[in-house]
Amino acid sequence: MHPAISVIFFTVSSGAGFGLIFLICLGVQLPESGLPAFLVSLLAGGLAVIGLISSTFHLGHPERAWRAFSQWQSSWLSREGVLAVATLAAFAIYALLWTFTGNRVETLGLLVSLLAAATVFATAMIYAQLKTVPNWHVWLTPAVYLAFSFVSGLILAGMINAQGRILGIELPWLIFICVLGAWALKVAWWKRADRIGFSETGSDTGTATGLGSLGQVRLLERPHTGENYLTREMVHKIGRKHAMKLRLLALIAGCGIPMVLSAIAAFSSSGELPMALAVLSLAIGLFTERWLFFAEAKHAVSLYY
Amino acid sequence: MASHNLETSPYVSDEVRQTTCYMCACRCGINVHLRTGSDGKPKVRYIEGNRDHPINRGVLCAKGSAGIMQHYSPARLSKPLLRTGDRGSGQFKEIEWDEALNLATEWLGKVRKQDPKKLAFFTGRDQSQSLTGWWAQQYGTPNFAAHGGFCSVNMATAGIYTFGGAFWEFGPADWERTEMFMIFGVAEDHDSNPIKLGISKLKSRGVKVVAVNPVRTGYNAVADEWVGITPGTDGLFVLSIIHELLRAGKADLDYLIRYTNAPWLVIDNPGEANHGLIARNKAGKPLVINRKTGKAVAYDGKGAKPNLKGRIKVDGVEAVPVFELLARKYTSADFSPEETAEITGVPAEQTKRIAQELAAAAFEREIVIEQPWTDMKGERHEKMIGRPVSFHAMRGISAHSNGFQTCRTIHLLQILLGSIDCPGGFRFKPPYPRPVEGQPKPHAGAKPGEPLPGPHLGFPRGPQDLLLEDDGVSPKRLDKAFSWDAPLAAHGLMHMVISNAAAKDPFGIDVLFMYMANMSWNSSMNSGSVMDMLTAKDDDGEYVIPKIIYSDAYSSEMVAFADLILPDTTYLERHDAISLLDRPISEPDAACDAIRWPVLEPDRDVRGFQSVLLDLGARLELPGMTNEDGSAKYSDYADYIVHHQRKPGIGPLSGWRGKNGTETGRGEPNDDQLKKYIANGGFHMEEVPHEARYFKHANAAWQDFAVKMGFQDAPIENVFQLYLEPLRKFQLCAEGKADPQPPATHRHRVLTCFDPLPNWYAPFEGAGISTADFPHHAITQRPAAMYHSWGSQNAWLRQIHGENTMYIPAEICDAAGIEDGDWAWITSHHGKIKVPVTRMNAVNPKTLWTWNAIGKRKGAWALDDNAPETKQGFLLNHLIHELLPPKGDGLRWSNSDPITGQAAWFDLRVRVEKAEPGHETSEPQFAPQKSPVAPAPDVVDYGKEWTE
Amino acid sequence: MTSLPASTEKKLGLVIDLDICVGCHACVVNCKEWNTGGYGAPLGDIDAYGSNPSGAWLNRIHTFEITPEDAPAQIVHFPKSCLHCDDAPCVTVCPTGASYKRSEDGIVLVDEDMCIGCGLCAWACPYGAREMDPVENVMKKCTLCVDRIYNENLEEVDRVPACVRTCPAEARHFGDFADPQSDVSKMVKERRGIDLMPEMETNPINKYLPPRPKSAPTNDKRPRNVETDSSPAPGSFLDWVDRMLEKI
């Protein structure tokens, strides 16, 4: 699949934003109120909103984007839109109360957290629902999206308050474990992707054309000699070697370096700086991971090209 | 549920105008839907096939459906152009029509006055040859032809000489009745939609289709059996089938006796001047052995029962029937399938089985139509009995130096099976059959200020009809047609015109005048050198070809090489006659002709070439085009179409003749004729009477119809010529037994190639080079969705074929270490090209192929300089020389069939080497020409005004 | 709403006969020609005369090469457009309701005024049947010529999809698959029509008729020799001619 920058940015940025919202609303230790609280909320909401805005650059008619809220009963994309707006609206109330009163309303927080998680899940399901892209069509896809969203939120939280704790565990250590866990999921996802091809559905050029029983089927001539929407969008080809290098980069930047930095943060009095570096490094890792998520995904249409 | 705004019955168009397509040579009927555009003027909304039209019956191909993009192409020329820069640079200034026509008149007038043969007038995709030929005849130059010489003259000539017809517009298979159909060398071709409709009919009836072609695409892909033959060996394959059939006694002897020269006696008098000629009586009638009396009698004598074998003395000389010679020749072991398999690449088993299937279809599935008819001898037949096997052949057969003989082998096969114009067989389309006896001879002449005594092109009956100077050797025509180089060159040799003019061999010219012929690019062999020839200068700094006038509607590669450009209209803006005098569109059951008319007015300062030609004719005061007071006889082409009479009562169109429009075929001109055509959908159709529909070559009712319609003035006897005596006459000259005698250099090839019985010899290029150096064959195919270069300016069609690749058999790829997507160098004895490669299995293992005419020169067709057509696209033409490899005799031997002069495109031999990776651009590349038209738009969103 | 109808009254669609499609692209171009001035936005082309021309098309022909183990390789020309699936995944993923399947005839359409051009429907389609228009940025797809088949401005005989009307090889047939007596239903039954990628569980309406078996050069099972009882004995061909001539 064509790795569109707008969509990559959207999933990474919104993922991080909703991850942070999730943590804020679960009550992770952060500034008590006032401007700092507002800024933290702005960061979380901003990442989510910027991501969402970025996603509209992918649309042919962004001015009609409002129409996407209508089909929540059947469409994951619509659900994602509805959930995102609901999450952000509820979070706005939460954030305002927090900013102005210092009160972090627990029940509301729980609701926002649930909504944020659901939003990320819906985002992932846009991809995971597609039977046409075997790499994506698996429960691991939402798991990975949720995990990376969570980890992004954690590291952002760590950057804001490295001394914070969740369930009694210091954030840096939690980050250390969760980063490892998230990437473990991703490695499992990759392992499956490498093995899957089209084997889950049994699709090949033979089934795509219905001619497999006659012999070995191969494309001799594309319908048109030039590129078209389908070839640009769905028949993206990436060299295996190139992909492996990028996976390594993703692992180092997204996993290795943040783990090292979180360990440093755990032993340092001001862990915020290493955590800020970890945010940057994670961003590089996730952008790479997300680019590969699209670029390596084979679409059933490629069986015709 | 949301309601969706859906109009299921939207407005379609303001008006439908019916005319004839010109996106290729198929000439289908089209309905042009017009609708008001955003500027308030009519614009084409949609073009569809005309359901009533005899050719396409409503269907329309990709090219026809892309007519909108052709009509509104950014590559359209818009005003007459006069060259300002060097030839080939593409630098022009726009001039007014008056100036353009005055210049042309001045150039052409001077030549006509001094030496008319210094004009060469050749037309390419011209569909008005009866006008252009007549014009050239009135002008008086011997140098006229259309593009048949590099197209399919072998097919036409072999057919006419053998049985008075040919494939393509001369006749199709009897689609409704045939029981087996074989195609040879047919990729996409002129009869585009009718063949598809026909094959579809066969498929729906479960009739077997066998395709003989090195490449298994298109029609060959859907065929039920594929014979992946090695190029240039089809004749040998067919003779092996004939070998099998004769050995099995599968020939229609009754048919052979009735309709062919199989019983005619051939003189057997070795070493003498009459050896091999037909034995004739004093009245010149061919003789046969009468089985009842054992005596030699005239073949058409009453009650004669001709024998097909035997030996008899006629005037003291031995003579043997054609059939006996033929049977002895083809039953010899030389033609056994086992013997030929190695050369043809066709397993003996397959040849034998196909022979058997043909015999079974022809003789065991006889078709009987209860339709009485009377033959030309007056014998009445109660039924029409058919041998339902049919054949079609095209460029793959004709574009070889053995193409004439190969076509003859196919016709021989048809005739032995008794399947010409019988139910289920091949069928003539009116005005055919038209045997040599009904055809003109060629004419030259070329006296200053005078017309030629007859038409340029024709069918020589023997060496006496060659167009030679008094020395008996030098050609009278620039292209050397009807000389010893190409004695039966019935369509001329357009591919030799520029080469010969540049070499001044046989003579130089002053003006080259061409129409719709992309000779500096895909329509020439050796395109790179042709560009050099067009721009070559003498020692005195003058161009070797001093003046070039060219007419085209579009900015083709050739435009840059002309001095004066006469811009033509698009096909929707012009008048044309698809005439029975020309290349008609008839169906076997009906004589048809058609028109084009301006369904839209030009929005540019352009004029239909035919109108311009008539204007020039009047300015030059050519006979037939000028009134006595010196004024123009015809105001334009439409006027000519209606009022010109070739003979009294016979004009370009056959329908609605006579003062009141009530006559058909013959009749006075009718002022309202075009209106009648337009009202009838642009065409006219006259049904052939049922009694005349089969056996037209011998059918009295057909002869009556043909005379009534004006196809001929009297019945013409048509005896199929299995043994072609004119060829034997040429051989006798080469043997030194008759005059004129060919030069010593030509004798060997006349002796070996001019066999009066269909024969096979190896194609010349392969015989003239080391096949170890050039082990492979390379050919092109025309894609169904692209017509020559024309399609590249078409925003839709160029997306389908914007670049081409060389399809190389897996075996050759493996041997050369080439993988799918690599680039390779292809080398011939003449040149080298660099091309992208696609690996392929469904192809003859010795044959590479590519799509024809996709590669473009930068600056042409209003395309971007970086268009894929210029960067990845390529032409095979650069590998093909118009001359054979030098033989050391100092002569320029044309790379053509020695009998007809047909360009031997497919004789090409090559080798393949992997190209180093990197720099993925095809070679050779040429410097950009300056485009004579405005830059093309980036975006096309046609129809926007109707969809908002 | 972008839910699929539980069932449709008719199931209109195409039968494509791979045994006879010669790959001429007539249907491809005629479709573009009809539709660029018809339903919805024009079918735009960008860089139309440039180095990378690309446009929206609703129907395209692919060329496949099939290499059997025991016969020469063969070519199959393969036209492909929207299959108007009963379980069309492209419809349910649409976030705006622009994509829908008609309950009356089963035609899958895009209401272009509602389309935001997100492209998700094209991703959901395994067949590559949807293409984003490069100029108008809305999703384009085969409408089965819904503006022809019911169009009272056209003669009744012309109320078929443009691709069907123009196909010179008559390889395309239009009809109602819900009616077991329709020509298309019968054809599919007789020729064992196939679904593309049935494993995708889209239940396509359009069916493909597979190529009929071909004769192979040397392993054809029929008898090899042409000789029959009336055939001449070897070497005596001209005597046979004598015998045959007696019968004429």
CB distance B290 to B305 below 8 Å: yes
Please answer yes or no on whether C131 and A129 come within 8 Å at the CB atom.
no
Neighbours of chain A (3+ CB pairs under 8 A): B, C
Q: Which of B890, B430, B480 is nearest to B694 (CA)?
A: B430
Element (H, E) at C172: strand C172-176
Sign of CA dihedral B739, B742, B743, B747: negative
At residue C231, the pLDDT reads: 64
Q: Which residue of B has its CA nearest to A70?
A: B2
Assess A126–C contact: CB distance below 8 Å, yes or no: yes
Please answer yes or no on whether C45 and B307 come within 8 Å at the CB atom.
no
CB distance B283 to B271 below 8 Å: no
Band (pLDDT 50/70/90 cuts) for residue C222 is: very low
Asked if pLDDT for residue C99 goes beyond 70, the answer is yes
At residue B640, the pLDDT reads: 98
Mutation pick from B3, B8, B866 vs chain C, by most beta carbons of C within 10 Å, is B8
- As assigned by CATH, the class of the C12-209 domain is alpha beta
CA distance B39 to B487: 57
CA distance A132 to A136: 9
On the CB side of B134, CA atoms within 13 Å amount to 21
Series of mean pLDDT values for 10-residue runs along chain B (948 residues): 82 97 94 96 98 96 97 98 97 98 98 97 90 97 94 95 93 96 89 93 96 97 97 98 95 96 98 97 96 94 91 95 96 96 97 96 95 95 97 95 98 98 97 96 93 97 96 95 98 97 97 96 95 96 97 97 98 97 93 98 97 98 95 97 96 97 97 98 98 98 97 96 98 96 96 98 93 96 89 95 97 97 97 98 98 96 97 97 93 96 97 94 96 97 91
Q: Which of B61, B57, B37 is nearest to B47 (CA)?
A: B61
Contacts of A223 in chain B (CB under 8 A): 800
Please answer yes or no on whether C123 and A133 come within 8 Å at the CB atom.
yes
CA distance B311 to A181: 102
Kind of pairing between the strands at B208-212 and B225-227: parallel
- What domains, with CATH codes, occur in chain B? 81-154+441-566 (3.40.50.740), 167-368+386-431+721-734+747-753 (3.40.228.10), 764-914 (2.40.40.20)
At residue C233, the pLDDT reads: 62
Please answer yes or no on whether B803 and A223 come within 8 Å at the CB atom.
no
Q: How is residue B273 written in tokens?
A: 């001047």
Q: Which residue of B has its CA nearest to A219?
A: B840
CB distance B488 to B404 below 8 Å: yes
Element (H, E) at A244: helix A240-251
CA distance B472 to B465: 11
CA distance B154 to C198: 51
DSSP notation for B549-611: EEEESB--GGGGG-SEEEEPPPTTS--EEE-TTSS---BTTEEEEEEE--SS--SSS---HHH
Phi and psi (nearest 5°) for B733? -65, -40
Q: In this predicted model, what pLDDT tens digit does every residue of B412-454 receive, in sequence order?
A: 999 999 999 999 999 999 999 999 999 999 999 879 999 999 9
Assess A220–B contact: CB distance below 8 Å, yes or no: yes
Q: In this predicted model, what pLDDT tens digit does every residue of B640-653 receive, in sequence order?
A: 999 999 999 999 99
Residues B639-643: contacts with CB under 8 Å, at least 24 apart: B640/B131, B640/B610, B640/B614, B641/B575, B641/B577, B641/B595, B641/B673, B641/B674, B642/B669, B642/B670, B642/B671, B642/B673, B642/B674, B643/B669
User: 3-state class of B831 per DSSP?
Assistant: coil
CA distance B151 to B166: 14
Question: Kindly report the CA angle at A18 between A15 and A19, in degrees rounded to 5?
Answer: 80
Assess B218–A contact: CB distance below 8 Å, yes or no: no
Please answer yes or no on whether A229 and C131 come within 8 Å at the CB atom.
yes
If 0-12 CB within 10 Å is exposed, 13-18 middle and 19+ buried, where does residue B507 land?
Answer: middle
Q: Is the pTM of this model over 0.90?
A: yes
Please answer yes or no on whether A226 and B802 come within 8 Å at the CB atom.
yes
Sign of CA dihedral A204, A209, A213, A216: negative
Q: Which of B777, B796, B814, B809 is nearest to B910 (CA)?
A: B777
Contacts of B290 in chain C (CB under 8 A): none
Assess B582–A contact: CB distance below 8 Å, yes or no: no
Q: Which single residue is written with the structure tokens 């130059």? A: B141
User: 3-state class of B260 per DSSP?
Assistant: strand
CA distance B938 to C3: 39
Weakly modelled stretches of chain A, pLDDT under 70: none
Q: Which residue of B has its CA nearest to A223?
A: B800
Parse chain C into domains and list their residue ranges: 12-209
Element (H, E) at C45: strand C45-46
Q: How is residue B596 written in tokens?
A: 């084009």
CB distance B826 to B778 below 8 Å: yes
Candidates A69, A74, A226; nearest CB to C2: A74
CA distance A113 to A18: 8
The type of residue at B626 is T
Q: Which single residue is written with the structure tokens 């499956």? A: A192
Contacts of C138 in chain A (CB under 8 A): 60-61
Q: How is residue C9 written in tokens?
A: 């009254």
User: 3-state class of B232 per DSSP?
Assistant: coil
CA distance B900 to B413: 21
CA distance B194 to B191: 6
Count of beta carbons in the 10 Å neighbourhood of residue B648: 10
> b/e string for B626-644 if b means 16 or more Cβ within 10 A?
beeeeebbbebbbbbbbbb
CB distance B400 to B231 below 8 Å: yes
Give B805→chain A minimum CA distance, Å: 10
Band (pLDDT 50/70/90 cuts) for residue C224 is: very low
Phi and psi (nearest 5°) for B218? 55, -125
Give C223→chain A minimum CA distance, Å: 25
Please answer yes or no on whether B800 and A221 come within 8 Å at the CB atom.
no
Give A134→chain B minimum CA distance, Å: 27
Q: Which single residue is written with the structure tokens 């195919």? A: B781
Give C139→chain A minimum CA distance, Å: 9
Neighbours of chain C (3+ CB pairs under 8 A): A, B
Contacts of A71 in chain C (CB under 8 A): 1-2, 94-97
At residue C234, the pLDDT reads: 56
* Residue-level length of chain C: 248
Q: How is residue B736 written in tokens?
A: 């030194």
Contacts of A223 in chain C (CB under 8 A): 28, 57, 60-63, 80
Q: Which of B51, B73, B2, B16 is nearest to B571 (CA)?
A: B73
At residue B1, the pLDDT reads: 46
